Amino acid sequence: MTNEQRLRNLMTPSGHVDVVMDTDACNEVDDQFAISYLLRSQEKLHTVALYAAPYSWRDKVDVPTGMENSYREIIKLLALAEVECPAFRGSTAYMQDVCTPVDSPAARDLAARVEAYTPERPLYIVAIGAPTNVASAILMNPKVMENAVLVWLGGHGHDHGGADEFNMRQDPIATRIVMTCGIPLVQIPCECVSSVFSISKPELESYLVGKNPLADYLAGNILRAQERAGNAKWARVLWDVTAVGWLLNDNDRFMYSRVMPTLVPSPQARYMSDPQAPESRYVFWINRTALMTDLIDKLTK
């Protein structure tokens, strides 16, 4: 891929594009919003596959269970949204080295699917979990680096001071692969950037409750979490929605970003430069009101 083509692929896409999403859909309550937002944005985004990403919590959820829970959540959301779309189970383990992919139906599908695309007409990958499936597909078929663009919610903002973010640390080997391999990468950080994109109980009750079964389900997940938190003034960040928002960011209507040298996490979970990593696009500001308006309008239409 030429540098000129890479820079073009790091711009918000124009026109109708094909998208796959890689999601740890049952890990938190924001993935469900991101999946639904993608499925409700068919005026520009054609969802061609959904992949269940792995996740784990020490002594609570192991990797195979996390992935399977995510797969089942994807199936549930497709039914609520009344949308038909292929869904694939992902990795049941994290990567052990930079040369060996973790085999899964999701990684195999992505490795095969990119054959139908080109650098001039890429497939867009929205990844909102540990990037194990994506990194494995890259090792299975290097054409993923040429024929796809990766939009990844991962890491914290550079001003945060650290890179110890959940999606990054779940699979550090996969993180290093996707950040240094050369695939056109759009990074959307969590703290200091997408952390502004939160929704409160009064907003959920006013905007979503009672609108349709999908909206009720999405709102209910957060309202139950708010009850568990025991804080009436609590608000929930919908981190993952911002990754879909970048694909809809015509004329910078939802967020600002810049192309810059990629900073990768060090073993001490600090950002550092890496000569192997090409430039990537880094999102540094999000227009919460504009993005939230579009999200609510689409979820309630």
| DSSP letters for the chain | --HHHHHHHTSPP-S-EEEEEEE-TTTSSSHHHHHHHHHT-TTTEEEEEEEE----BTTTB-HHHHHHHHHHHHHHHHHHHT----EE---SS--SSTT-----HHHHHHHHHGGG--SSSPEEEEE-S-THHHHHHHHH-THHHHHEEEEEE-S--GGGS----HHHHH-HHHHHHHHHS---EEEE-TTTTGGG-EEEHHHHHHHTTTT-HHHHHHHHHHHHHHHHHT-TT-EEE-TTHHHHHHHT-GGGSSEEEEEEEPEEE-TTS-EEE-TTPPEEEEEEEE-HHHHHHHHHHHHT-
Each residue's pLDDT, cut to its tens digit, for the chain (301 residues) gives 888 999 999 999 999 999 999 999 999 899 999 999 999 999 999 999 999 999 999 889 999 999 999 999 999 999 999 999 999 999 999 999 999 999 999 999 999 999 999 999 999 999 999 999 999 999 999 999 999 999 999 999 999 978 899 999 999 999 999 999 999 999 999 999 999 999 999 999 999 999 999 999 999 999 998 888 777 678 899 999 999 999 999 999 999 999 999 999 998 889 999 888 899 999 999 999 999 999 999 999 8
Q: How many residues does the chain have?
A: 301
Residue 166 lies in a domain: yes
Residue 233 located in a structural domain: no
Single pTM value for the model: 0.96
Tell whether 139 is covered by a domain.
yes
pLDDT score at 247:
98
Total tally of structural domains belonging to the chain: 1
Question: For residue 262, is it within any domain?
Answer: yes
Domain-embedded: residue 16: yes
Does residue 129 fall inside a structural domain?
yes
In this prediction, residue 75 carries a pLDDT of: 97
- The whole-number pLDDT of residue 163 equals 87
- Domain of residue 19, residue span: 3-197+238-296
CATH code, 154: 3.90.245.10
